[in-house]
Structure 1
Amino acid sequence: MTVLYKANMVRGAEWATLFAERAPDLPFRLWPDIGDPAEVRYLVAWVPPDDIAATFPNLELVFSVGAGVDQFDITKLPPHVPLVRMLEPGITERMVEYACMSVLALHRDLVQFIAQQREQVWRELPVTQTGKRRVGVMGLGLLGQAVLGRLKSFGFPLAGWNRSPRSIEGVTCYAGADALPDFLGHTDILVCLLPLTPETRGLLNANLFARLPRGARLLNVGRGGHLIEADLIAALDSGVLSAAVLDVAEPEPLPAGHPFWGHPRILLTPHIASTTAPETAVDFVLDTIARRHRGEALPGRVDRTRGY
């Protein structure tokens, strides 16, 4: 029974060391050294290999190394093989750090000040109290709830929107498509933490931006596919939005010359908001494998009908 890792090779070397320490009797291989494909029972991947079913006939579990699974074509996975999202605690903590950093940067006009620095302009901007800056989070899963929990300490009025109803203390919650306009109308800083599905692809578009208060700010830490890029540029250039922080794009990396690189109202980072820590990720994988052998429910198991 072999565990095969196919993702960042630098972190993969750390995974190999940790597996040797914590599960020395469980063979561990790094792609493309797959050994006997019939022996591969567990696949840990970011972008999965082509033709999984034919290549690994005895596969039992597939793990995403990240919290999202939109990079997988679920239809190509054998129906009996569970797909599991990474739930190691470091993913949540690092997302909370990045989201709070970015919300505060948007709140305190850091994007505008960076642009002014490039132009050698020394100019104050009026400061808005946190109690008057409304933050709304789209996506109230594990990450969204954790981000809202930490943002409470800053005193922002908080709201959340989700496809299905949620109840979170201290957060005004909205659910479903009918409630989205009301949620947007009460959001000055919009945080996208939605999973990427056919329903959410392109959701961050001109129509949505127009429903926000004029001059609102955007943080996208979901996926690049959520955003219609031309609509964001138009909204920033017209003042519909005043700033954006983007950690995701489509494609990644962005090509040279892309307008996001030099836009004065965009702060861009290279999909680093939340990364998987090998130390705790290996423990999660080993625990999930043990649960599988005991016939127990698997944490992070993806619902194929929803895509997350």
Structure 2
Amino acid sequence: MTKLVFLGVSSDIPKIAVLARERTGNIEVLQPGDAGAEEAEVAVCWSPPPGALAAYPRLRLIHAIAAGVDNILCDPHLPALPLCRVVAPDLTVAMTEFITWGVLYYHRDLDRALANQRNKIWHRTAPAAASSCTVGIMGVGQLGAHVAGELLRMGFKVRGWSRQEKTVEGMESFYGENQFDDFLSGTDILVCLLPLTAQTQGILNRATLSALPAGAALIHVGRGGHLVSVEVQAMLENGHLRGAILDVFEKEPLSVDSPFWSMPNVIVTPHIAAAASYDSVLDQIEENIRRLQHGEPLRNLVDRSSGY
């Protein structure tokens, strides 16, 4: 029987652990401090305390409960073990829905309509074709490529930027540091879907946002570490940014004294853009446990050098 220990501060961790106990299978679910927990072979994690994983000498696999693993890789005492993340079809659909809503919110001038409602102003804006709006997607992995395809199907112009060249039929592709400003300069709505790495830490800063056309909008659904809040706030206040939909932040929950809560051109959502169902998370963890036991290649194995 394979022993699993669940580690981390996420409110999802105990819920997934309860569901795992209810499933039949050849696994034993443990919490830190439980008898036999030190013999765990697999750690299921979200933002485990620094050094926590090193306290389990028999670990053979570390498994995240979501797509992001920066909250695990930041541990300076992280054991040199395979690390896997969750990549789920329902997560892809949910993220696409959220971003499509955000794009339509700005393209259809719903932010301005809501501002007019608050001021009791009846004003009809002229309709614009989707082809008049260019959506720029930072991060063209599995999620970004799917989002790009859906927006292209709706008639939007789409451009993508990533560390290495990625192609999606119909999408204008940019890659590498040398093409970053060119990518930004033609973007009306910027979507951040990047993984968090040393190269992308703090990428949503004044320099990046200044390279966008005046009046561009931001949809941030990447990682909290991408955001330099004070600089995003300044670009919203000076009008260079029309507005922003922010789903992830440097520190979560977002502090009650954050200016973002009350800024009229900002929508704050509590990290809900996309999340795999608990069943889907467990399916992938159990499949990787089976693969580990049989010496088969693990699914969604993280390349530590790239951070995803």
Shift of 1:294: 2.2
Q: Distance in 2 between matches of 1:256 and 1:266?
A: 15
Greater Cα offset, 287-296 or 187-196: 287-296
Higher RCO (C-alpha under 8 Å, 6+ residues apart): 1
In structure 2, what is the Cα distance between the partners aligned to 1:123 and 1:185?
A: 30
Show CA shifts across 1:247-304 (max 9, x none). Answer: 0112111112211001011111000111120111111111111112222222211111
CA 1:15/1:101 → structure 2, altered by over 3 Å: closer, same or farther?
A: farther
CA apart distance, 1:127 = 3.3
Letter in 2 for 1:90: D
- The 5 A counterparts of 1:70-149 are 70-72=70-72, 73-79=74-80, 81-149=81-149
1:27 is paired with a residue whose SS is: strand
Task: Report matched runs for 1:196-235 at 5 Å.
Answer: 196-235=196-235
Q: CA shift at 1:186, angstroms?
A: 1.5
Instruction: Please give the residue correspondences for 1:147-186 in structure 2 after superposition, counting only pairs within 5 Å.
Output: 147-186=147-186
| Contact 2:223 2:248 survives alignment (8 Å) | yes
Residue 74 of structure 1 deviates from its aligned partner by 4.8
Structure 1 residue 305 displacement after superposition: 1.3
The alignment status of 1:20 with 2:51, answered yes or no, reads no
For residues 153 and 144 of structure 1, the distance between their equivalents in structure 2, rounded to whole angstroms, comes to: 14
Aligned to 2:279: 279
Whether the 8 Å contact between 1:217 and 1:244 is mirrored in structure 2 is yes
Quote how far apart the aligned CAs of 1:22 are: 4.0
AA aligned to 2:231 is D
- CA distance in 2 between counterparts of 1:116 and 1:235 reads 22
Distance 2:229 2:168 in 1: 32
* Offset at residue 130 of structure 1 (A): 0.6
Give SS of 1:285's match.
helix
8 Å CA contact 1:2–1:40 kept in 2: the answer is yes
2:20–2:29 Cα contact (<8 Å) kept: no
CA pair 164-109 structure 1, distance change in 2 beyond 3 A: same
What corresponds to 1:66 in structure 2? 66
- Runs ≥4 residues deviating over 4 A: 7-11
Query: 1:119 Cα deviation (Å)?
Result: 3.6
- Contact 2:215–2:241 at 8 Å: present in 1 too? yes
Asked if 2 retains the 8 angstrom alpha-carbon contact of 1:45 and 1:64, the reply is yes
**Residue 52 of structure 1: CA displacement?**
3.1
Of 87-96 and 57-66, more deviation after overlay is shown by 87-96
Q: 1:231 to 1:2 in 2, by over 3 A?
A: same
Q: Distance in 2 between matches of 1:138 and 1:243?
A: 18
Alpha carbons of structure 1 residues 254 and 121: separation in structure 2 relative to 1, 3 Å: farther
- How far did 1:16 drift? 3.0
Question: 1: CA distance between counterparts of 2:307 and 2:250?
Answer: 19
- Offset of residue 53 of structure 1: 4.4
Q: Distance in 2 between matches of 1:97 and 1:293?
A: 37
- 2:240 maps to a residue whose letter is V
- Note the C-alpha offset of 1:14: 5.2
| CA separation of 1:268 and 1:66: change in aligned 2, threshold 3 A | same
Structure 1 residue 15: Cα displacement: 4.7
3-state SS of 1:95 partner = helix
- In the aligned structure 1, how far is the partner of 2:247 from the partner of 2:208? 19
In structure 1, the partner of 2:250 is 250
CA drift of 1:37 comes to 2.5
Letter in 2 for 1:36: G
Contact 1:203 1:227 in 2 (8 A): yes
| 1:76 partner SS | coil
Q: What CA distance in whole angstroms lies between the structure 1 residues aligned with 2:249 and 2:126?
A: 31
Residue 33 of structure 1 and its aligned partner are, at CA, apart by 5.4
Structure 1 residues not aligned, in runs of 5+: none
- The 8 Å contact of residues 13 and 46 in structure 2, kept in 1 or not, is answered as no
Distance 1:294 1:304, change over 3 A: same
TM-score under structure 1 length normalisation: 0.92
Matched-pair contact (CA < 8 Å) for 1:139–1:160: yes
C-alpha contact (below 8 Å) 2:7/2:13 kept by paired residues: no
Shift of 1:19: 4.8
Q: What is the aligned partner in structure 2 of residue 52 from structure 1?
A: 52
Letter in 1 for 2:171: V
**What is the count of residue pairs matched by the alignment?**
305
Q: Where in structure 2 are there 5+ consecutive unaligned residues?
A: none
Q: 1:149 to 1:22 in 2, by over 3 A?
A: farther
